[in-house]
Amino acid sequence: MHPNFHFTALQVLWTFTFAAQLVLLVVLMGRDRIKRFPWFTLAILLMALRLMASRLLYGRLPSVTLSGIFIVMADLAAIVGLLVVVEMARRAFAGARRNGWMAVAVAVLIVGVGVLAVLGGPWPAWKTLKPDSSLADLRLMQFGAQKLDMFVDLLTVELGLLVISLGRRFAGGWRTHTQRIVIGLSTASIAQLGIQLVWKLVAKSAQPHSQAEYDRVVGLRDKLFNANGALYVVILIWWIAVLWKDEQGAGGEAVTASPQPEYIAPENETAGD
C-alpha cells in the first residue's frame, strides 16, 4: 500500500522554508546570537512573516489591500537587508582602520550602483513615478523595493568576496559565525541574481505560438524559482548548523577569551627579590 500525497512542489518548499526559518529563529534566540546579529535576526523574522502572510491572507482580502500589505513588507525587507549588509561588514572588518573601511565601502557602493544601472533593467521616466494616487504610490513603492532588493544582492555578493579574501586578517575568519552567515547570504544573492538574469533572457527570446509552448515557458519559470527556493532551504539548514555550534577561534567574538591584564611589578619589587 503506497501513500498518496497531493502536495505540489511549491507547497513542499513553503513548508520546509517556513519550518527552517522557525528553527533558525529558535537557534538564534536559544544560543544567544540575537545580540550579535540583531538585523540578521530581524531579516529572518520578516521573511517568515511574509511567508505566513502569503498563506493566511491570500484570497481573503481585496487585491489592492493585499498588494499594499506585501509591497510594504517587501520595502521593509529590502531596507533591513541593507542594514544586514552593514552589520556583517562592520563585524567582519572590525579591526580595519576607519579611513580604509570608508574607502572600501565607497568603492563597493560605486560598483553596486554601476552594475545596478547596467543590469537593473529599464528605468521608467520620472513623470510616471510621481505619487499622485494610491495606486501610483503602490507602484512607486514596488519599484523601490525591487531596485533596492537587487542593489542589496549586489552589495552582498561584493561583501562575500571581500570577507572570503580579506576576512581572515580581521574578525571574519573561516570559523567565525560572521563569515559563514555572509557565505550563505552571498550564495543566496548569486542564485537570485542568476535566476533573474536567466529568466529575463528566456522571457525575451521566448515567443510562444501555442498554449503548449506557453505552458512550457511557464513551467521553466516555475522550475527556476523552485530551484532557488530549494537552495534557500539548504542555506537555512547551513545557518542552523553553524550557529548552533560555538565559534572555534579565527577571531570569533564568542570564543575569544578576554585578554588577561599584564602583570606589573610594584615599585619596591626588584628582579632579584
Comparing 45-49, 93-97, 151-155, 229-233, which segment has the lowest mean pLDDT? 93-97
pLDDT for the residue numbered 6 = 58
Domain boundaries, the chain: 9-244
Q: Compute the distance between CA of residue 114 and CA of residue 102 in angstroms, rounded to an integer.
A: 18
Q: How many CB atoms lie within 10 A of CB 154?
A: 22
* 157-184 confidence digits (pLDDT tens): 999 998 888 767 765 566 789 889 999 9
User: Is pLDDT of 213 > 80?
Assistant: no
The label of the residue with cell 522571457 reads: 203
CB 151 within 8 A of CB 189: no
pLDDT for the residue numbered 254 = 43
Which three three-digit cell numbers place residue 17? 522554508
User: Is pLDDT of 130 > 60?
Assistant: yes
Q: Compute the distance between CA of residue 242 and CA of residue 175 in angstroms, rounded to an integer.
A: 9
pLDDT for the residue numbered 9 = 76
Which three three-digit cell numbers place residue 94? 572590525
Nearest-5° Cα angle at 69, 67 to 72: 105
pLDDT for the residue numbered 77 = 93
* 52-106 confidence digits (pLDDT tens): 988 888 878 888 888 888 999 999 999 999 999 999 988 888 777 777 778 888 8
Q: Compute the distance between CA of residue 55 and CA of residue 51 in angstroms, rounded to an integer.
A: 7
Residue (of 76, 17, 42) closest to 68 by Cα position: 76
Comparing 168-172, 186-190, 191-195, which segment has the lowest mean pLDDT? 168-172
Which three three-digit cell numbers place residue 107? 568603492
pLDDT for the residue numbered 272 = 41
Q: Compute the distance between CA of residue 41 and CA of residue 32 in angstroms, rounded to an integer.
A: 11
Q: How far apart are the first and last CA of the chain?
A: 88
| DSSP labels, 55-97 | HHHTTTS-HHHHHHHHHHHHHHHHHHHHHHHHHHHHHHTTTS-
Mean pLDDT of the chain: 80
Q: Could you tell me the pLDDT band of residue 127, with boundaries at 50, 70 and 90?
A: low
| DSSP labels, 143-185 | HHHHHHHHHHHHHHHHHHHHHHHHGGGTT--TTSHHHHHHHHH
DSSP H/E element including 129: none
Comparing 51-65, 116-130, 254-268, which segment has the lowest mean pLDDT? 254-268
Q: What pTM did the predictor assign?
A: 0.81
* 64-75 confidence digits (pLDDT tens): 888 888 999 999
CB 145 within 8 A of CB 74: yes
